[in-house]
Chains A and B, each alone.
Chain A
Amino acid sequence: MKRVLVYVTPKKGILDPAGQATQRALQSLGYHEVEEVKIGKYIQLTIQDNNFSESSIKEMCSRLLANPVIEDYHYEVSDV
C-alpha cells in the first residue's frame, strides 16, 4: 500500500487572510518570532501498490484537489 500525503497551499503572492489572522493571533500571544503563517490543506490518499502511478497523482491534484489559479501542491509518498 502507498500512502500519499498531498499538501495544498496558497500560491505565492495570493492573499491568505486565515494565515494573516493566525499570525496576528500568535503575535498577540507573544510569539513575535513568527515571520509568516500560511494555512493550507492536508489530504491523505491510500492506494494499492499495483494501482499507484505518479502521473495520476499529479492529475488528481491539478484537476480536483488543488485549484492551480490560487493554490500550489506538493506530495509525499510512503509505504504503509
Chain B
Amino acid sequence: MSKVRFGVIVFPGSNCDRDCYYVLKDLLQVKVDYIWHQEEKPKGFDCLILPGGFSYGDYLRCGAIARFSPVMEFVQDFAEQGGLVLGICNGFQILLECGLLPGAMLRNQGLKFVCQFIYVRVDNNQIPFTGAAQPGQVLQLPVKHNEGNYYVEEETLKEMKRRGQIVLRYSTKEGVVTREANPNGALDNIAGICNERKNVFGLMPHPENSSEPILGSQDGLLIFKSMLQYMEDGEFRYGGGEEFRYEEGREDDLDA
C-alpha cells in the first residue's frame, strides 16, 4: 500500500467529501482521512482535497464563508510549502475566494444549475495533477454546478496562459475548444486552472463522480492517479509529449 496519505476536508455543507473518500480508499486503496473544518493543525497529510458541495449553503457567495474556516489557514500554509491541494467544484470556488488561485466564479450563463457529462481537453499535462495524461488528451467528466462561469481579468489571463496555468478547457469529444462545448460560459472555456507554482489545482468537473466504468466514465481517476504518482516518485514525472504550448480555441467561436 502506498505511503501517501490524502486528507479530504469536510466543510459544513460539503457533499462530495464521501465520494472523494470512496475513490481514494476503495478504488485506489490509498490512505485517506477526513479533516474537519475546525481543525487548525492536522498532521501527517501529503495531499489535500477540498471537495464539492454547498459549503455554508453557498448563501452569500460560493466558497466565501468556508474560506474563513479555521482549517483554511493550514491549507494556505500547506500550499505555500509546496503541498498538493486539489479543489473540486465548490472546493475550487473556495480556493478562488481565498486567493490561492486567481479569478472568480460567476453564475452560469444559462442561469441554471447544470449537471451533465462534458469533455475537457488537457492543455497542460506537466503539472502534478495531470501528469498521467497525454498532451491534449480529452477526458469525459461530469459538471454539476450553478456558478462555474470562470472569470479573470485580461492581464492576469495572459500571464496565466504564458505560465501554463490553464490546465483544462471544455472541448468537443475530439478536443476542439468550441462555444457549444462550454456548459457555463466560462472565459476561454476554462474548466480547470493551477497556481504559478503548479501545486494548487482547481477544476469545476467532478473526477470523483467519474472514476469507474459502471458510472459512465473512469476518466476522473486520472487526476487522482497523477497526484499519487507524483507523490510516490517524489518528483514530477512527465506523462510524455512536448513542452506545454497554450493552444487558442477557434476564436470565431469563442468571441462571437
Residues of A in contact with B (beta carbons under 8 Å apart): 14-15, 17-18, 21, 64-65, 67, 69-70
Contact = CB atoms under 8 A, between A and B. Distances in A.
Contacts of B60: 64-65
Contact of A21 (B65, B97, B103, B111): B111
Contacts of A17: 106-111, 149, 185
B65 A64 contact: yes
Interface of B: 60-61, 64-65, 68, 96-97, 103-104, 106-111, 149, 151-153, 185
B97 A14 contact: no
29 contacts: A14-B106, A14-B151, A15-B106, A15-B109, A15-B149, A15-B151, A15-B185, A17-B106, A17-B107, A17-B109, A17-B110, A17-B111, A17-B149, A18-B107, A21-B111, A64-B60, A64-B64, A64-B65, A64-B68, A65-B60, A67-B64, A67-B97, A67-B104, A69-B96, A69-B152, A69-B153, A70-B104, A70-B106, A70-B151
A65 B65 CA distance: 9
Given A15-B109, A17-B109, 11 more contacts: A15-B106, A15-B151, A17-B108, A17-B111, A64-B64, A64-B68, A65-B60, A67-B61, A67-B104, A69-B152, A70-B106
